[in-house]
A and B are shown apart, each in its own frame.
Chain A
Amino acid sequence: MSNSPIIRRRVDPRAERAARTVLTGPRPRLLRQPVAPTTINERRRDPRALRTAALVQHLPRPRYDWTRDAASPGTAAPAGVAVTAAPAIPLRVIAEPAYLVLAMLDRPGGEVSEHDRQVIAAARLLADGADAGGGGAVVTVATGSGAALAEAGSDRHVALPEGWADDYVPERRAAAASALMAALSPRHILFPDSPDGADVARRVAAAAGERLFTGVQSLSPDRATRQSSGGSLETGHRPTRLMTVAADAFAPLDGVRHEARPLDLATPMVAGEEVLPRLGGARRLAVDPDALALSEADFILSAGNGVTDWQSFAELGEALGATRAGSRVVCDAGHLPRERQVGASGTVVSARCYLAFGIAGAPQHLQGITGVKHVIAINTDLHAEMIKRADLSIVADAQDVMPALIRLIRERRND
């Protein structure tokens, strides 16, 4: 027994009892279980503590973020800090491209559209594809400078003449594309499948005598698919040289930075200017905004139950040049025709700007304006849902604001 190293723990029943006592006095209360030892085992995980550390939102239902550092529970950074503290996106340079993929962008009105970004993303799939060897470079061709395209994933940029941005010159654009095709001999040329982009693509394909794979829905270096037979079949083929990319088929790139180095080439301009255009005298026609379908309208002036001055509403619509619309209540009451109703039981609109007078914002109405970019709401109720949804909310009576806005527009127009 003398060589046994076992140390037996001394039991002190009084001390244990004292530790279990929670209420002293005439009727002492004791805990049943012995109290846990005060020292914490480092290797033991505490699931409750981890769970509370991962909790980011209590209501309406708990949400957990398990990607945080589990080793330091409770020290999570507050929201928003992570984005600002993120390191700068590294610049990716493709110095010696193995081959080129051309992306002919629309850039309507000088802005890089969502569809243009998607086309660049599709071009990157072909340029970086592992099956094709990778190492290809994406060359964007558009009016304007390439600075805005670096973050969309463009390696090189060929600038078309500035004057082409606003004019309708499909023949010149097609000639420029054909000239670039001859000068750079790219492996693929992608166009957006937008009305103007697809038009240029078909002109190029007809001139080159090559097959155009239109409306590409999925793309990999060895296979491209599109819809055919009126949308009932999927047709697959290996990627052809000329393709148009369907809208909303590819996610635009995010978190990449390429150099978008300008390529100084005179060929596209020369080829474009040489063409004697047959189409001429292009000009936009004034369109009656109230004749437009609501789903097509770009700027909507909408009335709800809070509008009683219909004369001013009509005048305001005319002064703004906006398409008039209304909520369900207004259309039920007969102030506006049924096809002017916005909402779940009317039309789901995708306007760029929505100016709402006296609309409280029923869920069905908010559902109808989910696709709207900029909402301006005028309502007497500060707590209306529409006020929360709007980008500019004004708590005022529509009957006062409408005449004031009409006066202001007329004043500014006369200046």
Chain B
Amino acid sequence: MTEAVLSNVAVLLSIGRHPVSGRARRGATDAQALEMALALRPRRLTAIHAGPAADADALRAYLGMGLERLTVLVLPDGADPVEALIAHLRRLAPSLVLTGRQAEDGEGSGMLPYLIARGLDAAMVPDVVRVGPADASDATPGKAAIVQALPRGQRRALTVSGRLVATVHPSAPPARASAFGPARRGVIEPVAVPVTVEVTADLFLSECEHRPWRPKPKLMRVKRGGSALDRLRAATESKSGKGQLLVNPTAEAGALAIYDSLVEQGMLP
């Protein structure tokens, strides 16, 4: 039964944007999501892109990773893809939907997987680095075991029951390279959005004003209050000579001092 959990996988792929050149490319975490889906070897793998069918070259980079076909939900420019994706995914009924963290182009709010999870009534797990069927010891069938990435390189294990939408963390296994031949041979399959779905333009985005990003000055942690001399000292002087100093202690005394200091810092139990 555990196989059934991850047998029907859908991957949502977007067109990325190179951070320096601004060129269209495969999205970094989207490609990792596809890599994760390919590594699961599901019985059915569907890759979906929603948007105007313009940048076929960027999408072909995904096909070059070993996909045979890629479904494109054709939407007018600037339309909200959420409703169309939910309607399409409902028909597919995947047990696992994988996607990148947030779009590299456009608004990039990272809301899409959450809205889709809500639309599909699925559990939502962010920042996944590994997905697999739950251990035999965990017994309950229909559960997926997930490893999540946390800050500072830490990892957290979770089990999730039922349908699942997961976003992939950049520290997940790297995406394989895209090969030219498979990228040419792969099929991009345009699918019209069902008539029942109302495709609307995004009003919020048209209300926003956009301008080129200018780097902001870095926030300095200046201690306010005190006299000008104190503030000057805090800003200019490096902390030196304020620590505890032990000169030529015995090895045991030195080790004890280090041990106590580490315990105080919470580094040792």
- Against B, the Cβ 8 Å flags (1 = close, 0 = not) of A314-334 are 000000101000000000000
Q: In the complex, what residues of B have CB within 8 A of residue A408's CB?
A: 252, 255-256, 259
Q: A355 contacts which chain B residues (CB < 8 A)?
A: 258, 262
- Contact A298–B241 (Cβ < 8 Å): no
Measured between beta carbons, the chain B residues less than 8 angstroms from A353 are 262, 265, 267
Contact of B212 among A198, A233, A293 (CB under 8 A): A233
Supposing A63-B232, A320-B267 touch, asked if A234 and B158 sit within 8 A by C-beta, the answer is: no
Please tell me which stretch of A26-34, A97-105, A123-131, A393-401 contacts chain B, meaning at least 4 of its Cβ atoms lie within 8 angstroms of it.
A393-401
Contacts A79-B233, A211-B204 given; indicate if A387 touches B259 (C-beta within 8 A): no
A389 partner residues in chain B, CB cutoff 8 A: 238-240
Which residues of the other chain, A, contact B22 by a CB distance below 8 angstroms?
A: 232
Q: Please determine whether A393 and B245 come into contact, CB atoms closer than 8 angstroms.
A: yes
Separation in Å of the B126 CB from the closest CB of chain A?
5
Distance (Å) between the CB of A53 and the closest chain B CB? Answer: 13
The residue of chain B having its C-beta at the shortest distance from the C-beta of A403 within the complex is: B251
User: In the complex, what distance in Å separates the CA atom of A202 from the CA atom of B112?
Assistant: 9
Interface of B is mostly: mixed
Min CB–CB distance A168 → chain B (angstroms): 6
Q: A279-B125, A389-B240, A392-B244 are in contact. Are A251 and B156 (CB under 8 A)?
A: no
**Can you list, as one digit per residue, whether each of A69-107 has a CB less than 8 Å from chain B (1) or not (0)?**
000000001011011001000000000000000000000
B161 (CB) vs chain A CBs: closest residue: A278
Q: Are A298 and B152 in contact (CB under 8 A)?
A: yes
> How many pairs, one residue from A and one from B, have CB atoms within 8 Å of each other in the complex?
239
Which B7-33 residues have C-beta < 8 A from chain A? 16-17, 19, 22
Known: A206-B114, A284-B156, A396-B254. A230 touches B108 (CB 8 A): yes
How far does the alpha carbon of A352 sit from the alpha carbon of B152 in the complex, in Å? 11
Q: Considering the chains assembled together, what is the distance between the CA atoms of A395 and B155 in angstroms? A: 37
Q: Are B210 and A299 in contact (CB under 8 A)?
A: no
Number of interface residues, chain B, beta carbon within 8 A: 85
Interface members, chain A 286-313 (any B CB < 8 Å): 287, 292-293, 296-299
Q: Any chain B CB within 8 A of the CB of A336? A: no
**CA of A59 to CA of B226 in the docked complex: distance in angstroms?**
22
Q: Please give the distance in Å from A43's CB to the nearest CB on chain B.
A: 27
What residues of chain A lie closer than 8 Å to B154, measured between beta carbons? 284-285, 287
**In the assembled complex, which residues on chain B have CB atoms less than 8 Å from the CB atom of A232?**
17, 19, 22, 212-213
B223 to chain A: which residues have CB within 8 Å?
A: 254
Q: In residues 118-171 of chain A, which contact B (Cβ within 8 Å)?
A: 168
A362 within 8 A of B: no
Contacts of B125 in A (CB 8 A): 279
> Given A281-B159, A282-B157, A382-B247, are A56 and B232 neighbors across the interface (CB < 8 Å)?
yes
Does B114 contact A67, Cβ atoms closer than 8 Å?
A: no
Tell whether A248 is near chain B: CB-to-CB under 8 Å: yes
Q: Decide if A17 is an interface residue (CB 8 Å cutoff).
A: no
Q: Please, how many angstroms separate the alpha-carbon atoms of A104 and B236 in the complex? A: 35
Question: Which residue, of B107, B109, B157, B245, has the highest number of chain A Cβ atoms within 10 A?
Answer: B109
Q: Are B106 and A320 in contact (CB under 8 A)?
A: no
Name A's interface SS: mixed
Query: What residues on A are CB-neighbors of B150 within 8 Å?
Result: 195
**Known contacts A65-B232, A230-B17, A394-B254; is-contact A235 B212 (Cβ 8 Å):** no
Q: What residues on A are CB-neighbors of B212 within 8 Å?
A: 232-234
Contacts of A282 in B (CB 8 A): 156-158
Known: A195-B151, A284-B155, A393-B245. A404 touches B209 (CB 8 A): no
B228 located at the interface, meaning its Cβ lies under 8 Å from any Cβ of chain A in the complex: yes
Q: What is the CB-to-nearest-CB distance from A170 to chain B, in angstroms, rounded to a whole number?
A: 8
Say whether B79 faces chain A, with CB atoms less than 8 Å apart. no
Known: A227-B213, A287-B155. A248 touches B219 (CB 8 A): yes
Question: Which of B49-57, B62-70, B116-124, B189-197 contacts its partner?
Answer: B116-124
Alpha-carbon gap, A376 to B230, bound state (A): 26
Q: Which listed residue, A212, A234, A400, A405, touches B258 by the CB 8 Å rule?
A: A405
Proximity string of chain B (246-266) to chain A, C-beta cutoff 8 Å, 1 when within and 0 when not: 111101101111110110010
Q: Other than the known A168-B156, A230-B104, A232-B213, what 9 A-B pairs have Cβ atoms closer than 8 Å?
A: A65-B228, A82-B226, A229-B106, A233-B213, A234-B211, A278-B162, A396-B249, A403-B251, A407-B255
14 sampled A-B residue pairs with Cβ under 8 A: A83-B226, A83-B230, A86-B225, A203-B124, A207-B118, A214-B109, A236-B211, A281-B138, A284-B156, A378-B258, A396-B248, A404-B252, A404-B255, A405-B254
Q: Which residues of B contact A (CB under 8 A)?
A: 16-17, 19, 22, 104-111, 114-115, 117-118, 123-127, 138, 147, 150-162, 204, 207-214, 216, 218-219, 221-230, 232-233, 238-249, 251-252, 254-259, 261-262, 265, 267-268
